[in-house]
Chains A and B, each alone.
Chain A
Amino acid sequence: MCASNQHRHSIYCILPPYILRAIALNGDPGQRYKALHILSSDFTFRSLRLGPRLSSNISKKRPTAFMVEGDKQRTIFTANNSQTLPGNVVRAEGSPESGDPAVDEAYEGLGATYDFFWKVFNRNSIDDEGLPLSGTVHFGKDYSNAFWDGQYMVFGDGDGELFNRFTLSLDVIAHELAHGVTEDETQLLYSNQSGALNESLSDVFGSLVKQYKLNQTAAEADWLIGAELFTNKVQGTNGNAAAIRSMKDPGSAYDDPVLGKDPQPKHMNDFVNTFEDNGGVHINSGIPNHAFYLAAQNIGGYAWEKAGRIWYETLLDTRLKPNAKFLRFAELTIENAKRFNAEIEVTDAWTRAGLVPPALNT
């Protein structure tokens, strides 16, 4: 193990990461501290590369012919109901189930999300360079939330009254990882329309990861986000169980005396102008969410094959700027849909969501 404090990256150490992870899990406190410190430095080193990329008119070329399958490097931490990140290592890559459902769900969920991005899009982790995946569970006390903090995917246990633990939903785990992907590619500003696009992309990929895992076609999927997160005390609509959001029918996910009614619009006519929620990033994401749902229905089959690919290509498109609005995003998806002979289907989807790009608005 590296004893020198000047070595900040495991590439300079004799011990490879998989041995360091085993020590972090099974060593004595002193050994675990040192191993974790080195692993964290490696992770930090890689994470520092995540950040604003200089805009370029040159499309990013990914030589898929030369890519080999990256190794998943998952580390699950527990915050032990504190708010200190990342917490203590409880499960490292390749280690057996811990017996703690939150730990094991986070581990499996991050793995499923990694596998999806690799198998479907040839993307090697968050940064497409094999960034280790770190998740923290048992964050806070009765904490009813999950978030991406720029380095870690963090999950609370819920309050047991309204919310279950947030690792129960695969699409929620994938949603958070996808924020890292969006941050790596485009850094869509997290406010107003660009923020709603940021949120929508996470819902899109979150839902696709779940559909891929369940081998569901677009017609078979429920298109719900966080369907497992609410307890049975929370009321849905039309006799359905409550969910956090619905891409199929934004505004219908819940209608509850305590939570209120799902505020998401599905059409641009109902766009919510608000200062709340960073300008409504979780509210107005309903509009691009619904557009994706409609595009996937129009195209048919598995949603990740064409619709998901179009949306992913648009995320990578250097013409997508951090301050992009819905209309610009729609334009780019339509442009990217041409390569998949799905221009008509995608255009129809956006039109039905109330967005008609200028070139077509004649």
Chain B
Amino acid sequence: MKVYFKPEGGFGFFPGLNKPLELNSEHLPAEEASHLKKLINEASFFNLPSHQASSSRGADLKKYTIRVEDKDRQHWIELADTENDSCLQNLLAYLNQKQKETRSNPEPS
């Protein structure tokens, strides 16, 4: 399973905090790979609408694009910080934490 995660928006644009994150479950520890798949399944990810209707109101909200490829299917969604679904919040929290870890330990160029 491959997961692409891209945060955007917020009060300011910080180049280092908006880099995309790419995860491949084959390269994760087995326990973590299983946890990631569980988060995707619990969110019913592949059944979610891709794009939530964006409001004409509001500003400085952070938004996130998540794309998942799993075997022969792929799907993407866009969500914001005001997302109420607890399963999506859990997935988002995990991906934000992974991106934070990547910032702290950048891959060698």
Which residues of A have CB within 8 Å of B93? 141
Q: Which of B12, B13, B81, B82 has the most CB of A within 10 A?
A: B12
Q: Cβ of B13 and Cβ of A283 under 8 Å apart?
A: yes
Known: A83-B82, A83-B89. A147 touches B58 (CB 8 A): yes
Which residues of B have CB within 8 Å of A141? 93
Question: What 0/1 pattern do residues 23 to 64 of B give for CB contact below 8 A with A?
Answer: 000000000000000000000000000000001111111100
Which residues of B have CB within 8 Å of A277? 8-9, 13, 18
Interchain pairs with CB closer than 8 A, number: 95
Which residues of A have CB within 8 Å of B57? 50-51, 149-150, 183
- A194-216 with Cβ < 8 A to chain B: 198-199, 202
Q: Is the interface of B mostly helix, strand, loop or mixed?
A: loop
Question: What 0/1 pattern do residues 92 to 103 of B give for CB contact below 8 A with A?
Answer: 010000000001
Known: A52-B56, A179-B60. A145 touches B81 (CB 8 A): yes
Taking the closest CB of chain B, its distance from the CB of A126, in whole angstroms, is 12
Q: Cβ of A145 and Cβ of B17 under 8 Å apart?
A: no
Q: Is A263's CB within 8 Å of the partner chain B? A: yes
Contact pick for A84, options B8, B11, B84, B103, CB 8 Å: B84
Q: Cβ of B10 and Cβ of A145 under 8 Å apart?
A: yes
Which residues of B have CB within 8 Å of A263? 13, 15
Closest to A253 in B: B12
Closest to B14 in A: A259
Known: A84-B84, A187-B56. A149 touches B61 (CB 8 A): yes
- A307-328 with Cβ < 8 A to chain B: none
Q: Is B16's CB within 8 Å of the partner chain A? A: yes
Taking the closest CB of chain B, its distance from the CB of A84, in whole angstroms, is 7
Question: What 0/1 pattern do residues 70 to 87 of B give for CB contact below 8 A with A?
Answer: 000000000001111000
Q: Is the interface of A mostly helix, strand, loop or mixed?
A: loop
Closest to B62 in A: A145
Closest to A140 in B: B81
Q: Is A278's CB within 8 Å of the partner chain B? A: yes
Closest to A143 in B: B81
Contact pick for B58, options A144, A150, A175, A260, CB 8 Å: A150
Taking the closest CB of chain B, its distance from the CB of A28, in whole angstroms, is 27
Which residues of B have CB within 8 Å of A145? 10-11, 60, 62, 81
Which residues of A have CB within 8 Å of B62? 145, 147
Q: Which of B13, B18, B61 has the most CB of A within 10 A?
A: B13
- Interface range for A: 35 or more
Q: Cβ of B89 and Cβ of A146 under 8 Å apart?
A: no
Q: Cβ of A245 and Cβ of B82 under 8 Å apart?
A: no
Bound Cα distance from A166 to B57, whole angstroms: 21
Known: A260-B15, A283-B13. A83 touches B56 (CB 8 A): no
Q: Cβ of A261 and Cβ of B9 under 8 Å apart?
A: no
Q: Cβ of A85 and Cβ of B13 under 8 Å apart?
A: no
Which residues of B have CB within 8 Å of A83? 81-84, 89
Q: Is A248's CB within 8 Å of the partner chain B? A: no
Closest to B104 in A: A258
Q: Cβ of B18 and Cβ of A276 under 8 Å apart?
A: yes
Known: A83-B81, A84-B84, A278-B9. A147 touches B14 (CB 8 A): no
Bound Cα distance from A244 to B17, whole angstroms: 13
Give B contacts to A, CB under 8 Å.
8-18, 55-62, 81-84, 89, 93, 103-104
Mind listing 18 A-B residue pairs with CB under 8 Å? A83-B81, A83-B82, A83-B83, A83-B89, A141-B93, A147-B59, A147-B61, A148-B58, A172-B11, A183-B57, A183-B59, A187-B56, A202-B59, A244-B11, A257-B16, A259-B15, A277-B18, A282-B12
Give A contacts to B, CB under 8 Å.
50-52, 83-85, 139-141, 143-150, 166, 172, 175-176, 179, 183, 187, 190, 198-199, 202, 226, 244-245, 256-261, 263, 276-278, 280, 282-283
18 further A-B pairs in the complex, CB-CB below 8 A; given A244-B12, A282-B10:
A51-B56, A84-B84, A85-B82, A139-B81, A145-B60, A145-B81, A148-B59, A149-B58, A149-B61, A150-B57, A150-B58, A172-B11, A175-B60, A176-B59, A258-B17, A258-B104, A277-B8, A277-B9
